[in-house]
Amino acid sequence: MQNFPAGLSKAEIDRVRNELQTKTARLTSPELEEILYKPFPVLDHGFIRVTDYMGTDASIVQAARVSYGVGTKKVQEDQSLINYLMRHQHTTPFEMCEIKLHIKLPIFVARHWLRHRTASVNEYSARYSILSGEFYLPEISQLAQQSETNKQGKSSREFNRADADEVVNILEKFCEDARESYSHMLNDLSLARELARIVLPVAVYTEMYWKIDLHNLMHFLKLRSSPNAQYEIRCYANIILEILKKWLPFTYEAFVNYKQDAVFVSKKSADLIKRMLRGEKIVWEESGLSKGEWQEFKTTFELKD
């Protein structure tokens, strides 16, 4: 499918979509068709929009049934089959669906995002083109000190307002200086774009096309929509979750039930649950779990000391 700049107005998007509408024999998702090309805002300057997709819930069911014949065909039986596939971790049928997204995001989020190496990606090149000069500035409510226990994240302690204002001022000045230096080297000194770009911070926005199959998309969403994920990438993941809900409603429901909100239980933890159900009193020293595992066990199942 043809791709269009994110700045198109609603009227222009509707006109282009109407011009491209043709009859097709392939399976389509009516709700996803309604949002094709439409940008969903994320953060201060970012967006996500669907540019193409392949497959529906029916594609998953069809792929699964080829293994054992036609089978059942009723809608509720289709949903039951998708639940079964998700529950028992049958991954191949979910690889039959794909989606392509156009994403505008800060570079530091993109580098985090691209740790998922199971997609096809084409990113905006600052060697060939000039970056827009838009920078991500976090909201004051998202500023926090480094966690003392989690090396990857921030603490839950409130950030002092005076310090928060200072952080925002530093970021604004740094980004503005970088923008002016980048422009000066490009326009006044005629420095090559591939070298001028090195002055820009990871707060600058980039764009990419990201095509991924459904199985790997759900793995991405499981990790990046988690409350433990970094806020910025979580904002994007939450938008994609809404897109998934429109695209594949049965699969979305199964994903939430069996993946996103499900709880992983080790053999040791399962044995403890069985003992507790038999009425045994369990203490950490006799649990066989490490201190960290015990704390996670208690938190997950809301157990009191």
Catalytic residue set: 224
Angle formed at CA 112 by CA 88 and CA 94, multiple of 5 degrees: 25
Q: What is the three-class DSSP state of 270?
A: helix
- List % helix, strand, coil for the chain (3-state, nearest 5): 50, 10, 35
The two three-digit tokens of residue 17, written as one number: 């979509």
Q: At 259, which amino acid appears?
A: K
Strand arrangement of the beta sheet that strand 40-42 belongs to:
40-42, 46-54, 98-106, 205-213, 120-123
> Helices marked H in 23-137 — which ranges?
30-35, 57-65, 75-87, 107-113
Q: How far is CA 132 from CA 45, 182, 197, 204, 206, in A?
A: 11, 11, 11, 8, 8
Question: How far apart (Å, rounded) are the C-alpha atoms in residues 294 and 304?
Answer: 12
What are the strands, taking DSSP E only, across the chain?
40-42, 46-54, 98-106, 120-123, 205-213
**CA Rg, the chain, in Å?**
24
4's CB contacts (< 8 A; 6+ apart) are 13, 16, 37
Question: How far apart (Å, rounded) are the C-alpha atoms in residues 180 and 161?
Answer: 29
